[in-house]
Amino acid sequence: MDLLDNLNPAQRAAVGAPPGAILVVAGPGSGKTRVLTHRIAYLISAMHVSPWHIMAVTFTNKAAREMEHRIEQLLDGRPQGLLMGTFHAICARILRREVDNLTHYQRDFVIFDTADQLQVVKHVLAELNIDNKKFPPGKMLNGISSAKNDLISPAEYTATNYVSEVTRRVYERYQLTLQANNAMDFDDLLMNTVLLFDERPDVLAKYQERYRHILVDEFQDTNATQYRLLRQLAGEQNSIFAVGDSDQSIYKWRGADYRNIQNFYRDFPQSQTILLEQNYRSTQVILDAAIEVIRRNRDHIPKKLFTERPGGSKIIIREAYNESDEAATVVNTIESLMLQGYNGNAFAVMYRTNAQSRAIEEAFVQAGIPYRLVGATQFYQRREIKDIIAYLRLVHNPLDAVSFNRVINTPMRGIGQQTQTQFAAWAAALELQPGEALVRLATDPDVQHPFNGRAYSALYAFGGLFAGWLALRDRVSVGDLLDAILEQTNYRAYLEDGTEEGEERWANVMELRSVAEIGGDIALSDFLEQVALVAETDNLDHEAQAPTLLTLHAAKGLEFPIVFITGLEEGLLPHSRSMDSEDELAEERRLFYVGLTRARDAVYLSHAFRRTSWGDSSVAVPSRFLADIPEEFIDGQRPSARRRESIDRASTWDTGRKSWNNNQARQQTAWGDHERRSPARPEQARPAESRLPEPYSRTEEPRADRPANPNFKTGQKVRHGKFGEGTVIESKITGSDEEVTVAFPGIGIKRLAASIAGLEAVG
């Protein structure tokens, strides 16, 4: 098999390039995963590079798994020795190998997730007597993470104001707490690896010699520490193959720095740049519109995206009255398209902030259409799962005080808060971590302790269980260990309280048990590491026949036939926090660009005339990004032309609509339960040409029989066969028809085509 066959010229140039520093600028949908996997296979089969000498770095476990699967297909088997995984997983692997060269950690260190980190910060704030309302734990944690991303240790942290001085103090105590727990957070995995390589050139040289070819996916999303790590491993001799696109860098808030692409040019002056411009996803209309949006960014790398799918449906832009009307319009359009033959999973509804999903979810519920919400409580963040993981982590690492504090009285075993406080003080006096002290209490008959009969009995019983689990740890599988913990703690009885919720929680625990079973003979440390490194969207079920609701940030790396982007208003997209910074505005523009280029066939953009925020309903201004899309790619009136008009109309619209606004899209009508439920959907793909449904229908060319003036007037009472009586808000000539906007009490605002709506004047 010739690995260069079936590649376009740019892809062939990238895959077959001689070793060295290579930057592949991959436009959206240009086949970057195909290039990466073919490059790895080409190195092995054509350049005769041992898999042992190759490291491939990704940002999600899902991406790593997909690449591994493709490489196995290309090479007819799994190449032994190839290292592929996320930055965090690879760094965790290196640190476990080199733990003897670390000063503060033992081999069985654990990885604290965000919830654990917040718990530590809250504990530190209490210890330092700092008001957690004035200095929220999340804000403190963000400050600590930012410092670590810039390779700033607590000793090197410089305070420039009072907030940063508090952050410095919290950071110092936070890091000491992690070390006492033999724990690292995600940032530590990266930072400690870089610092190890800095401090031990001999260790770095060993890894440079082993991994002579470094490949990295989503290079634009690397932060300062990740870039430094790649630079260390590449050295002066090794080959580095970086694939990314600065136009798709949207994670600045978590440390990503698109300027690393410029740093690449600086640090590798002899590098070769290859542009992947052929798109295999979207229509040319979508690509042309997206390029017009993104080219206004100062640091945009010029490229011409093209596809073999010329033309395509124009981008449809519509204004809704408010968020409820917007949501209802989106759901109505999806329902109509499903009736035309689209499967439910063809649709994605995207928004800038999680809070925007509320109105959209309500609209789906009222329509009786199932949906998938990305970003809700994920499996490994559920209470019962975190409980069991805490038990396993404590057995794996008895120094883990965070896990100890979570499980000491879960389920309740008579160890109340007062006893817990007394126990913590006793353990500290012995200079032991709580887990160590508990084992000593249960196994040393001569130990001196301050506990009374009831408290001692409860602690002794729990200590006996814990000591038994420690003895089992290295003798049984993870699944068998989990079974012992569940049985001996009576955890099932604790969850199953006779409610459906209790049964669901126990089902979740059994799902975790299944995960452990799938792992077979996997070591407890490896199992816990895999659990800690699971990404939020890794478990997205693409087979479910339901529309997906997700933020634009979560949409990165995904694609859908039809994309709805809602809330395109100043203050939402671009977000209000970005208004004072050119860099922040540029990232908001990149976020919109990413959303547009997730679509294969059609894009629907919407904004609201009014939007409620923090309990206040006010007139919204259409997003400046909408004005960047040329007229020839738009179906609908340009919002930039209506911007001033919309604000001027606010006072006259507000009085007539306020009462309707409180009720629309809130009540389930009798026909809603019966008629709006979609019948079984055909399994075939969408029809080659299908009429887009009202109210997102295509504007027809003007015809000779176009009505001269609207037949319906603002304020007029009308009756609809399905929606009942309502009041006309607006009526205008659109194409060859009259578009009538009607407010129906208890249902909401509907835009109707007069020629087919069958509206009748009342009175």
Beta strands 717-720 and 760-761, pairing class: antiparallel
State the catalytic residue, choosing from 86, 175, 225, 248.
Answer: 248
State the catalytic residue, choosing from 32, 34, 314, 556.
Answer: 32
- CB burial readout 78-91, b (16+ within 10 A) else e: ebeebbbbbbbbbb
How is residue 634 written in tokens?
């738009």
How is residue 416 written in tokens?
């109340």
State the catalytic residue, choosing from 68, 113, 188, 217.
Answer: 217
Active-site annotation holds for 32: yes
Active-site annotation holds for 616: no
- Separation of alpha carbons 471 and 597, rounded Å: 54
Closest CA to 386 of 116, 185, 124: 116
- CB burial readout 695-734, b (16+ within 10 A) else e: bbbebeeeeeeeeeebebeeebebbbeebeebbbbbbebb
Q: Read off φ and ψ for residue 622, nearest 5 degrees.
A: -55, 145
Positive/negative CA dihedral, 557, 225, 267, 208? negative
- Separation of alpha carbons 69 and 629, rounded Å: 39
Closest CA to 60 of 540, 464, 514, 447: 540
State the catalytic residue, choosing from 598, 600, 610, 750.
Answer: 598
Closest CA to 94 of 80, 115, 109, 113: 109
State the catalytic residue, choosing from 113, 187, 188, 218.
Answer: 218
Contact 448, 466 (CB under 8 A): no
- Separation of alpha carbons 555 and 540, rounded Å: 11
- Separation of alpha carbons 763 and 261, rounded Å: 68
C-alpha distance from residue 107 to each of 93, 96, 101, 103, 404 (Å):
11, 6, 11, 11, 19
- Separation of alpha carbons 415 and 422, rounded Å: 10
Q: How many helices (H) and strands (E) does the chain have?
A: 28, 22
Active-site annotation holds for 526: no
Within 222-377, residue ranges assigned H as helices are 224-234, 260-267, 284-294, 323-339, 357-367
Active-site annotation holds for 218: yes
Grouping H, G, I as helix, E, B as strand and the rest as coil, residue 710 is coil
C-alpha distance from residue 84 to each of 63, 96, 192, 649, 702 (Å):
10, 16, 20, 58, 58
- Separation of alpha carbons 655 and 646, rounded Å: 15
Q: Which residues of 186-303 form beta strands (DSSP E)?
A: 213-216, 239-244, 272-276
Closest CA to 565 of 614, 612, 613, 622: 622
Identity of residue 262: Q
- Separation of alpha carbons 59 and 232, rounded Å: 19
Please enumerate, as own/partner, the contacts of 464-469 that have beta carbons within 8 Å and a separation of 24 or more. Answer: 465/489, 466/394, 466/395, 466/398, 466/435, 466/438, 466/439, 466/442, 467/439, 467/442, 467/443, 469/391, 469/395
Grouping H, G, I as helix, E, B as strand and the rest as coil, residue 329 is helix
DSSP 637: -
- Separation of alpha carbons 192 and 198, rounded Å: 10
DSSP, residue by residue, 597-631: TTEEEEEEEEEESEEEETTEEEE--B-GGGGGS-G
Identity of residue 648: D
Q: What are the residue numbers of the active site?
A: 32-33, 217-218, 248, 598
